[in-house]
A and B are shown apart, each in its own frame.
Chain A
């Protein structure tokens, strides 16, 4: 269960209130028939609230402070994870972590952006906003994976690549661009999952692969709704409106043919039943990896190329 003292979005409030009551009762009178009644009430409420989430509410869920992060998936879905650090050039970026791990006996290279949960951790992880060395570390790990024929699994949850002086000096644009090109050419299967926030180029820098998955309540966007509203509406308070028109939810992206699969989340979102989330994700991941195993590396490139090449919608007047 989530820590109720943490910040949560407003629309979750009624659910959290009932849960609070249930927890108190379970403490004092676990056999009480009221508990079952309250639980039923809670489940009904969850269903009601979550069946009609607005895009902005999904943004809030994707950013939920209790949402599982890359490290949580790594610990719960994989075994024997060994973290590999550094880009062999400048530094180790803590906003991206990765290394080999076992997925039921198959070695895969897992790479993910990592947000922090405490204030201290958030600073250490730079709020999940990578510097160029993070993208370069990720690419180094992918090249190792390619060398030893390990499939690559990337887990994305970032507000975006960090906009700072050092990041610019060390070539943030180049680092992301190079990943886009080189991930396209990877001779091993690459499975991308947006687990929370898919923040623009910072997300795409780990986001080129054979299958693109999104968790049900995750979002993926060209720029944050806040930035979009500030620029296009010239009014930062229009973020909710912007979110509504940007089409950034998993369902939207599936419809736009940008992603391949939406991984369902437990009622109330991934943070309400983490184990259930990990189990579902693991099943889906194994399914996609299994399907890609039989594809030759040359065919992987051809299909991956076609997949991205056809993205976009435009008019072509004379055919």
Chain B
């Protein structure tokens, strides 16, 4: 589950991976990293995503001290620690999730955002732990929990322990459920495998960004299995919504507004700014 390495929008110009249009970085920034020509939503690194969602200057990061271990001593072509340290260097993050508290439209929330550019946003023990702690923080503070996912699924290099993160994160959602703490799940491109099949699909409200790939099994695996072509738009956010799994599909520019509306409705009171 590797990310396309050079897709992080930086530099003076950026080429849209979908329509090949060259865009000024400044312009791209103003359009929230959405291609002005074809509406392609660039995948966002976690910190950029957070900045875009929250009230300026309100983010308080937690658990940045949690990082990857190598419980299996895993080695494929490279050792797992080697691979991780490459991503750490490239991303400036120490894992594929950034979490903390913030205000959105004046409402306090606990936030956990996955970063697809860090090993495909894959969930190993550290990511699972960060999701759980962010959920538990919402429980303690009695504030809504927002998880923003962008992930290929469970991280293979931690084997069965990664699989168990699905149960672990869903356990925290069960607690939020019991304590009636609102949980809004935002799914971005892509949200698949062990992340879609655990906490990401369990929102009281499930939201997805336009045209994001949302799936259990990715299209390549399905194509290989059934040896048929897939229907057009199969597993797009819109397709998944039309099949009943997602409540709201939004363009990126509307995501924050939609979240504020939900926060207001679920709290039943105006924000305390």
- Asked whether A168 lies within 8 Å of B167 as measured between CB atoms, the reply is no
Task: Tell which of A43-51, A68-76, A96-104, A170-178 binds the partner.
Answer: A170-178
Query: Contact flags (1/0) for B62-104 with A, using CB distance below 8 Å?
Result: 0001111101111111000000000000000000000000000
Bound CA–CA A231/B154 (angstroms): 13
Task: Give A58 Cβ to nearest chain B Cβ, in Å.
Answer: 14
Which residue, of A162, A181, A182, has the highest number of chain B Cβ atoms within 10 A? A181
Q: Is B198 an interface residue, CB under 8 A from the partner? A: yes
Known: A201-B166, A315-B66, A316-B66. Contact between A248 and B201, CB under 8 A? no
Known: A165-B234, A181-B177, A308-B171. Contact between A204 and B163, CB under 8 A? yes
Chain B residues with CB below 8 A from A312, complex form: 124-126, 128-129, 158, 161, 164-165, 168
Bound CA–CA A162/B225 (angstroms): 9
- Asked whether A201 lies within 8 Å of B225 as measured between CB atoms, the reply is no
- Asked whether B201 lies within 8 Å of A177 as measured between CB atoms, the reply is yes
- Asked whether B174 lies within 8 Å of A173 as measured between CB atoms, the reply is no
The count of A-to-B residue pairs whose CB atoms sit within 8 angstroms is 202
- Asked whether A223 lies within 8 Å of B156 as measured between CB atoms, the reply is yes
Partner of A168, one of B1, B170, B202, B217: B217
Which residue, of A162, A168, A228, has the highest number of chain B Cβ atoms within 10 A? A168
Chain B: interface residue total (CB-CB under 8 A)? 68
Closest to A219 in B: B160
Partner of A231, one of B1, B164, B200, B230: B1
Chain B residues with CB below 8 A from A304, complex form: 171
Q: Is A287 an interface residue, CB under 8 A from the partner? A: no
Partner of A177, one of B65, B71, B124, B200: B200
Q: Is B4 an interface residue, CB under 8 A from the partner? A: no
Chain B residues with CB below 8 A from A181, complex form: 170-171, 173-174, 177, 202
- Asked whether B196 lies within 8 Å of A245 as measured between CB atoms, the reply is no
Chain A residues with CB below 8 A from B173, complex form: 181
Known: A164-B226, A177-B199, A222-B154. Contact between A258 and B216, CB under 8 A? no
Q: Is A8 an interface residue, CB under 8 A from the partner? A: no
Known: A181-B202, A222-B159. Contact between A311 and B71, CB under 8 A? no
- Asked whether B167 lies within 8 Å of A248 as measured between CB atoms, the reply is no
Known: A173-B196, A231-B1, A308-B171. Contact between A313 and B76, CB under 8 A? no
Query: Contact flags (1/0) for B140-158 with A, using CB distance below 8 Å?
Result: 0000000000000011111
- Asked whether B168 lies within 8 Å of A253 as measured between CB atoms, the reply is no
Bound CA–CA A253/B163 (angstroms): 12
Q: Among residues 174 to 195 in chain A, which have CB atoms less than 8 Å away from a CB atom of chain B?
A: 174, 176-178, 180-182, 184-185
Q: Is A16 an interface residue, CB under 8 A from the partner? A: no
Chain A residues with CB below 8 A from B129, complex form: 312, 314
Chain A residues with CB below 8 A from B75, complex form: 245
- Asked whether B201 lies within 8 Å of A245 as measured between CB atoms, the reply is no
Q: Is A11 an interface residue, CB under 8 A from the partner? A: no
Closest to B230 in A: A165
Q: Is A148 an interface residue, CB under 8 A from the partner? A: no
A-B contact pairs, 16 of them (CB 8 A): A163-B216, A165-B226, A168-B234, A177-B170, A180-B198, A204-B167, A205-B197, A208-B170, A221-B160, A222-B156, A223-B154, A308-B167, A311-B167, A312-B129, A314-B68, A316-B67
6 shortest interchain CB distances as A-B pairs: A312-B125, A163-B217, A180-B170, A313-B71, A172-B216, A173-B196
User: Other CB < 8 Å A-B pairs besides A223-B154, A314-B126, 16 of them?
Assistant: A163-B221, A168-B217, A173-B197, A177-B197, A178-B202, A180-B198, A222-B163, A246-B74, A246-B159, A309-B168, A312-B165, A313-B69, A313-B158, A314-B66, A315-B67, A316-B65
